[in-house]
Amino acid sequence: MLFQSRTSKIVKVVDACVDHRRMTSSSPRLLRWRIAAVVGVLATVSAMVPGMGAPAAEAASQKKISAWLPYWDQARGYQSFVDNAHLYAEVSPFWYEMASATSIVPYPNAEDPVVISGVKSRGVRLIPTITNNFDSARVTTMLSSALNRTAHVTALVNLVTLKGYDGIDVDYENMAAADRDRYTAFITQLATALHGVGKTLTVAVHPKTSEPGNWSGPQAHDYAALGKAVDRLRVMAYDYHWSTSGAGPVAPLSWVNDVARFAASQVAPEKVQLGMALYGYDWVGTAGEGVTFDTVMARMRQYGATRQWSVNDAAPWFSYTAGGKKHTVWYEDAQSIAAKLPIVDRHGLGGAVFWRLGGEDPRVWSQVGGDVLWIQDAGGSPAEDVPSSDEDAPAPSAPASLVARGRAGAVALRWKASTTATGTAAGYEIYVSRSGDGDYTKIASTAGTTFLLTGLPRRTTYEFQVKAYDEAGNVSAASNVASATTRK
């Protein structure tokens, strides 16, 4: 969620609309999360995700998602919501800016009656977002005295009650580290006041993997203390690389897992929503332009670029040359999102929240809905659907005699075929762990009994398991564990 300023700063809004660093920085039968089915890749491509666990289970089947709706792309974002409204628990339109303790200024397109009535009529909670537009000074001023804090609490509670909202989402970012305790006091006071009138408080926080954090923004957010007060803590696990960094994945998988793990260690996990990116950046050197998925696809076509897949990061990227300058584009799509969704269940989190609606890969919502499991080819397009499981049919036998052989930057796998009540298995799912702690992530699917993973780091040890599935989508128990180390 990238939070921008008013009309005089529209250029900044467009450039920053996906720059979140500055504002922040199984079901065993079908591997199904109510908000995620895990994406695999065919044997022609390696899509390995190191160090992550297999999807956990069914409690998540009751979870639903949240998302931020940007005012500058509100028509497209709202249509995306309408198309998938059954998936949502709440929506947060990006509508307000805190100008001072007592002044709350609506952004353009804020308080749109079509959005308000449309969200409410679909039984989804409406929790608008208020931001400080990256301005730490105005937050410091508001926090500087108990009088100012109380005035701001009053202004927010009045806004929520007068407009009939279900609550407020506070997204004050790029704050001074010295404001940490005062910000906690403010949020605690606001939560008490909102709860007193039956309203909800969600708070967006910068990502981090330890306290206090590696720069002032996350240092100002005390996860444990904030988590005691709020209804939901929205951890914005993206912008690992951002608009002024070098090119790289926006949300590398192992880092997202680390962020989620840490948040769950500090806050009651059911209160944590894992923020997921739906955008990317187009870099020339260290100058990155925020781009939505549809823009990414248009540039890929325009310049004849080829989609690449980062094995370790579970993220797509490509490069092209324009005007004599080399561009590198990293972005998020359905395949990368599906690789991250199981993290929510792995750490028992309360759900996922997406930045942002409008221009995203529409296939994301098929993953979130969890009705089918997409097996994807190198280009990321759906290749087949695994049908819903037949709960009455016995699962296939577990694959046997799994063997893994390390090669130069690759691992070759082979195993014995599984059997079903009617013959042999329809296919196999491949799982990997690099942590050695039994945490496995599904990385691919194949119809055969051999698989070659390529493009792996050299001199790295991995552990593998394989599961079989039948035509109905029933999944077997796991095979034996086989380990291999890639050669130099």
Tens-digit pLDDT profile for residues 272-289: 999 999 999 999 999 999
Q: Helix or strand or coil: residue 476?
A: coil
CATH number of 7-376: 3.20.20.80
- State the Cα–Cα distance between residues 219 and 176, nearest whole angstrom: 8
Contact 91, 67 (CB under 8 A): yes
- Write down the pLDDT at residue 128: 98
| Equal CATH topology for 7-376 and 400-485 | no
CA distance 457 to 432: 14
Distances (CA, A) of 17 to 70, 214, 234, 414: 8, 23, 18, 46
Instruction: Check residue 474 and give its pLDDT.
Output: 81
d(CA 296, CA 299): 5
Asked if residue 25 has pLDDT above 90, the reply is no
The CATH homologous superfamily for domain 400-485 is Immunoglobulins (2.60.40.10)
Residue ranges covered by each domain of the chain:
7-376, 400-485
Residue 228 to residue 105: CA distance in whole angstroms? 29
**Is pLDDT above 50 for 375?**
no
> Quick one: which of 134, 130, 119 has its CA closest to 157?
130
Residue 425 pLDDT: 84
User: Residue 123 pLDDT more than 70?
Assistant: yes
Share of the chain above pLDDT 70, in %: 81
- For the entire predicted model, the pTM comes to 0.69
β-bridge mates for residue 211, sequence order? none
Q: Are the CB atoms for 294 and 359 separated by under 8 Å?
A: yes
Chain mean pLDDT for the chain: 83
The least confident of 29-43, 244-258, 304-318 is: 29-43
For the CA atoms of 48, 53, 54, 59, what is the dihedral angle to 10 degrees? -140
Q: What is the per-residue pLDDT across 142-191, written as a single tens digit (0 to 9) for each?
A: 999 999 999 999 999 999 999 999 999 999 999 999 999 999 999 999 99
C-alpha closest to that of 89 among 18, 24, 169: 169
For residue 113, the model assigns a pLDDT of 97
Instruction: Provide long-range contacts, Cβ within 8 A and 24+ apart, for 156-165.
Output: 156/104, 156/130, 156/190, 156/194, 157/190, 157/193, 157/194, 157/197, 157/199, 159/96, 159/104, 160/194, 160/197, 160/199, 161/197, 161/199, 163/111, 165/126, 165/127, 165/128, 165/199
